[in-house]
Structure formats: C-alpha cells, structure tokens
Amino acid sequence: MLLLFGLFSFSGVRSIDQSISGIGPLARLYPPIWFVGMYETLLGSRDPVMLHLAGRALLALGIAGTFSTLAYAICYQRFVKSSLEHEPGSSPRKAGIKSVGNILLDRFFIGRPEDRATFHFVGQTLFRSSQHILYLGFFLAIAISVSAMVLISAFHIHIHTLVDAIQRNEMLLLAPRLMAFILLAGMKVTFAVPVDLEANWVFRLSPQQQIKRQLRAARIFVFGVFILPLFVISGICYLSIWDWRTVLLHIFYGIALSLIVMELLFRGFSKIPFTCSYLPGGAQRVLLWPIYMFGFAGYLLAATKLETWLMEDISSLICFYAIIVAAWLVLLCRNLLTANGTVYFEEASSSDPVYLDMRS
C-alpha cells in the first residue's frame, strides 16, 4: 500500500527548490526525495535543505535495517518451531471469544446451516491462505492508495466560492465508493482462484450443489465483512465534517449502490469460492478493458453528481431509494433464477472443441 501510495503521489511532489516550502508539502514524507538530498550531499552540496533530507534518509536506512533484522529473527524462530513440528496452541481466552462470536453470528445473522458452512469456509480460507491474502491485499492497496489521494486532493481545496465547496464535497463522497468498487472487484477475482483443487472432492460429494445456496452466504460475507464496515467507518470519520443527517444519507447511498455493483459483478459466477478451476487471461478480454474503464469512470462520476444533488432534496432521495431497492431486487431475483443449476468445478474454455457424442 505504501509503495502504491508513493507512486500515485509522485505527481504531488514539486521540483526541489532552495527551501523546504519550495519542494512541496509531500516531500517531507516522500522517501525518494530524502535520497535525492543524500545524493546531493555526497556530491559535496552543503545546502541546509539537502543536509536535512540526507539526515532523514540515513534515519530511514537505520530504521529499515533494524526492522529487517528483527523480522528475519522472528521468521527464523517460526521456521525452527515448524521444522520441529511444535505448534503453539491458541489461548483458551481467545478461542472462547471466537467461539462466542461465531455462535452469535450463526444464531442471529446466518440462519441456514449451508449458509453457515459456506460463510465460515470463505472467511477461514481467505484469511489463512497467503496466496489469497496477497491477491486481496493488492486490490486493497490500490483502493486505499487511490482513495487516500482523492481525500488529500479534497482537503487541499481552498474554499472561496460555492463551486469549490461542491467540488470538495464531491471528492469526499467519492472516496469510500471508489474503495468499495475496487474491493468488490478484488473479491470476485480472489474467489475465482482455487486453494487446492485436489481437496474439492468434499464439495463434489455434497448433496447440495446448487450455486444459489453457495453464493447466498458469499454475499453475506462480502457485505458484512467489507461493505458495511467500510461505509460505517467512513461515516464516523465524516461526522467531524458534516452533520449526522448528511452522514446517514451518505452511508445508505453508498451501501445501496454497492449492493447493485455486487450483483452485477457476481452475475454468472457459478462457482463455490476457492474450490473451482479457472482459466487465466483471455485475449478477447484485453480488448474490453477500455470499455470497462470508461464504464467505471462514468459510474463514479454519475453516482457522485447524483448523490450531491439528492442531498438537497429529500423527496427525490426517497424516490431514488425506491428505484435502487427495486433494481437490486430485480438483479437479485434474476441472479438467483439463473443460478438454479449445479456448481461446475472445471472451467471450460470457449475455444475448446465441442463433442457431439454421437453414437451409431
């Protein structure tokens, strides 16, 4: 996340001048600029600005070296324990809190047994597999970095006119919705990557293999673990800027649109998460990326403009929520109706030959 944030913030750093104020507000927090100061100092420069930046670079090198040494020591200790087949057990208190949380979750929020099984399977697989943590972390890093740049740009807008205030509010409203969209796309990509294909025989032998039974719990997981906490946390942060009424409208608006996006992204997804094979790539899909990016930008722009306009008119906002709920129900019912088939565990390529199975 920090690496991507540094790349995205490069345009915000101005050229180096003879004073700290001349090199931009982000330069003090931007490591490449520190090492430019070290480079200039090694060349013989005695400029106070360069000496200050070189000092930051040396301090950063010392901190990085110290943490690297500690990390290597901790990893070596874990490696020795695993090689001796000695695994430390979890504390009873932690296990008790986790079991109580699972009981409350199953009793009050997840009713059906198959939904409980899929929900806990998705959660435990996602957070125990280093490969899937890496995939999801990549999308999470992009989401946080891009949203942080939007927020930084919003807070750097000096409000002098009504247009400036509207532009700042639009950027503040855009950031959580942008993060939600990228996270939803990342969840779909992560769900499609299997953990261990040789272990999916458990699901193949299951008598319940209707895809709508599996994706029902996956929807609950995505909504409860990612979408709802995201907008609740952003709403709590925005309470320092707006009143509670505006914050509530923002939360409900973002959740409603995220539910629509989730149904659109998971349309035609006929797999149990982490258990089915997939075919990476696809040349014909590369040609569609410009269309996807154009639609993504259009969605964000239109949704932000619409939210800004609806904030001023409660009657229009109520009508909008009615339309959104109706659209979500239509998409949900359509996805459930098309998901009456069974799960397919092997993804077939569109270029594979079709066998007619004609017998004489």
Give the pLDDT band of residue 66 (cuts 50, 70, 90): very high
Give the pLDDT band of residue 10 (cuts 50, 70, 90): low
Among 108-117, 150-159, 306-315, top mean pLDDT goes to 150-159
220-262 tens-digit pLDDT: 888 888 888 999 998 898 888 888 888 888 888 888 888 888 8
98-134 tens-digit pLDDT: 666 666 666 666 767 777 877 888 888 888 888 888 8
Share of the chain above pLDDT 70, in %: 69
Q: Which residues pair with 342 in a beta bridge?
A: 210
Residue 70 has pLDDT above 90, yes or no: yes
274-289 tens-digit pLDDT: 877 766 655 445 555 6
Q: What is the mean pLDDT of residues 76-96?
A: 63
38-59 tens-digit pLDDT: 888 999 888 887 888 889 999 9
Give the pLDDT band of residue 62 (cuts 50, 70, 90): very high
CA–CA distance, 306 with 175 (Å, rounded to integer): 15
